[in-house]
Structure 1
Amino acid sequence: MKKFAASLNDITLRAYVRLQIFAAQEPVRLRAALTSLVLLGAVYVPSLSGDGVAEMVGAVGVVALPILVGESARRKVTPAT
């Protein structure tokens, strides 16, 4: 069971790192993917199909993810003294 948990943790960390790299390198494609996911969600949740909701969620995601990526990298760097 520990091996399965470690494997699941490894997969999660790898996916997180790939998402960070993708957000930093491809913000336009990320926005398109987020918008597509929201539009897909609108099929199941009708309130998401309102005017501009998908675009707004995509824009917020594109702005927020690179900020989170930058903050994550900044915390790992120690200042030289």
Structure 2
Amino acid sequence: MKRLLTYLNDLTLRAYVKLQVFAATEPVRLRAALTSAVMVLAFAFPSITASVAERVGYVGAAVLPILVGESARSKVSPADPADEE
């Protein structure tokens, strides 16, 4: 039983680290996935209205770049043509 708990703990930590790396390297995809997940929940559970799902999506779109930081923003920002020269 202890081995199973250790394995589950290890699996949880690995998933958490992969999620952090994914959030740092692919913030736009993560935002899209989170918004899609909220919309699916709104469809599956009608008690979650579209306005609630929309608000959660807006908060995720606003808060995620702040949490991930400036380095992620620079990765998804268009390149300045002057920098290429």
Same fold (TM over 0.5): yes
Report the CA distance between 1:12 and its aligned residue: 0.2
Structure 1 residues 60 and 48: alpha-carbon distance in aligned structure 2, compared to 1, 3 A threshold: farther
TM-score of the aligned structures, taking structure 2 as reference length: 0.65
Aligned partner of 1:49 in structure 2 is 50
Backbone CA RMSD of aligned residues: 2.2
Runs of 4+ in 1 over 6 A off after TM superposition: none
Aligned partner of 1:78 in structure 2 is none
Q: Note the residue ranges of structure 1 that are not aligned, 5 or more in a row.
A: 68-81
Q: 2:31, 2:64 within 8 Å by CA — same for their partners in 1?
A: yes
- Post-superposition Cα deviations, 1:24-76, rounded to whole Å, max 9, x if no partner, equal 00000000000001101112143341173243143145236526xxxxxxxxx
Name the CA distance, whole Å, in 2 between partners of 1:61 and 1:40.
Answer: 21
Identity %: 49
The number of residue pairs the alignment matches comes to: 67
Q: 1:23, 1:66 within 8 Å by CA — same for their partners in 2?
A: yes
Report the CA distance between 1:13 and its aligned residue: 0.3
Once the two structures are superposed, the pairs formed by residues 1-81 of structure 1 within 5 Å of their partners are: 1-43=1-43, 44-50=45-51, 52-60=54-62, 62-63=64-65, 65-66=67-68
TM-score of the aligned structures, taking structure 1 as reference length: 0.68
